[in-house]
Homo-oligomer: A and B are copies of this chain.
């Protein structure tokens, strides 16, 4: 549940715009890594002071500054100052419970996304990634060092694809594409779990199956909550007037938009399937209740009358003529068997057997 809480409460009473890290500290040391590239050159190294950036920010090159770890607020503040990021936006970058969104300034576009991963007990977890896109640079803020973007780095290093010849906006696209690919993988996994669930529901549903259905529902809500705003973000980027997104790169964003739409449709579909499973679950519970009751009724309806009959001849009346007939006992058995057979046939005809 705490996954859904808004953490700002912790900082209640502080002036808005004061930088407070609201996440859980996920690594020891904040790390700043820079990849600086143009079509011809590539420099990759860690920096310790944000002012080292000045060496890289040149026309016609791309500088990708990656900051892992958000707890060192003074460092973040320096970054904000250097790149003209409003203190409220820095606050949002530090607030790891920030809803995915995009903000446009005169000089940069800030995108907040969630990277979804599964933790030890296979539950989905969201990690915030913030992107600050400028004319010739891209800054990424991550909660901890992760390797999600490693293969993009590989493409830059190995000059694979068109990444080295295009600008910072294409880099932003490539990274967002990685995140969206990751959503699709998560949705795929979800799909498989739901498929397994279907079999359980149809064959041997129990209280545990119910819990599992609701867990899946929660997972779906969690994914939807994190992906849905991405659609809005892309819509906004597609109509952005800032000039930071080049016209000819819009086709990539549109492609991403398609993927997100498709993901959301899949999520909605899974949602409706899980709802169907719930209904099937309830139906089979009712069906089994019916079955139990039929067994009871059949036993009761057959043996209660017979027991009554036996009871009658168990009475101790002095004048009870049947008791003295020779074949009474066998006649009684005959009657009993006849009654039982009639009852069985009746239940047969009612399709209870």
Alpha-carbon distance between A5 and B307 when the two chains are bound, in angstroms: 59
Q: Is the CB of A317 within 8 A of B308?
A: no
Which residue on B lies nearest to A174, using beta carbons? B16
Partner of A6, one of B187, B217, B282: B187
A338 within 8 A of B: no
Distance from A280 Cβ to chain B, minimum over Cβ atoms (Å): 6
- Contact bitstring A297-321, B, C-beta under 8 A = 1, else 0: 1011101111110111111111111
Instruction: Give chain B residues whose Cβ lies under 8 Å from the Cβ of A296.
Output: 293, 296-297, 300-301
Which of A6, A174, A281 has the largest count of B CB atoms less than 10 A from its CB? A6
Q: Which 9 A-B pairs have the closest CB atoms?
A: A310-B311, A15-B161, A313-B315, A296-B297, A1-B195, A314-B314, A317-B329, A307-B308, A303-B304
Contacts known (A282-B286, A284-B207, A315-B310); A265 close to B225, Cβ less than 8 A: yes
Alpha-carbon distance between A23 and B324 when the two chains are bound, in angstroms: 82
Count of interface residues, chain A, beta-carbon cutoff 8 Å? 117
Q: Is the CB of B293 within 8 A of A300?
A: no
Alpha-carbon distance between A200 and B129 when the two chains are bound, in angstroms: 36
Instruction: Give chain B residues whose Cβ lies under 8 Å from the Cβ of A17.
Output: 161-162
B-contacting 9-mer, from A37-45, A53-61, A271-279: A271-279
A18 within 8 A of B: yes
Contacts known (A1-B195, A15-B163); A285 close to B288, Cβ less than 8 A: no
Distance from A219 Cβ to chain B, minimum over Cβ atoms (Å): 13
CB pairs A–B below 8 angstroms (10 shown): A1-B195, A6-B262, A15-B155, A17-B161, A99-B262, A285-B290, A307-B308, A315-B329, A316-B320, A316-B323
Contacts known (A8-B181, A221-B272); A351 close to B204, Cβ less than 8 A: yes
Q: Is the CB of B293 within 8 A of A16?
A: no
**Chain A 170-222 interface residues, beta-carbon cutoff 8 Å to B:** 174, 177, 181-182, 184-185, 187-188, 191-192, 194-195, 198, 202, 204, 207, 210-211, 214, 217-218, 221
Copies in the complex: 5
Q: Is the CB of B287 within 8 A of A290?
A: no
Alpha-carbon distance between A328 and B319 when the two chains are bound, in angstroms: 8
Alpha-carbon distance between A272 and B218 when the two chains are bound, in angstroms: 10
Instruction: Give chain B residues whose Cβ lies under 8 Å from the Cβ of A207.
Output: 283-284, 287
Instruction: Give chain B residues whose Cβ lies under 8 Å from the Cβ of A304.
Output: 299-300, 303-304, 307
Q: Is the CB of B263 within 8 A of A6?
A: yes
Distance from A57 Cβ to chain B, minimum over Cβ atoms (Å): 25
Instruction: Give chain B residues whose Cβ lies under 8 Å from the Cβ of A305.
Output: 299, 303
Alpha-carbon distance between A305 and B316 when the two chains are bound, in angstroms: 18
Partner of A12, one of B181, B290, B318, B319: B181
Instruction: Give chain B residues whose Cβ lies under 8 Å from the Cβ of A83.
Output: none
B-contacting 9-mer, from A74-82, A233-241, A253-261: A253-261
A120 within 8 A of B: no
Partner of A210, one of B15, B88, B101, B283: B283
**Chain A 1-53 interface residues, beta-carbon cutoff 8 Å to B:** 1-2, 4-6, 8-9, 12-13, 15-18
Other A-B contacts than A17-B162, A88-B252, A91-B255, 7 sampled, CB-CB below 8 A, are A2-B195, A6-B188, A15-B160, A15-B162, A16-B161, A217-B276, A316-B320
A123 within 8 A of B: no
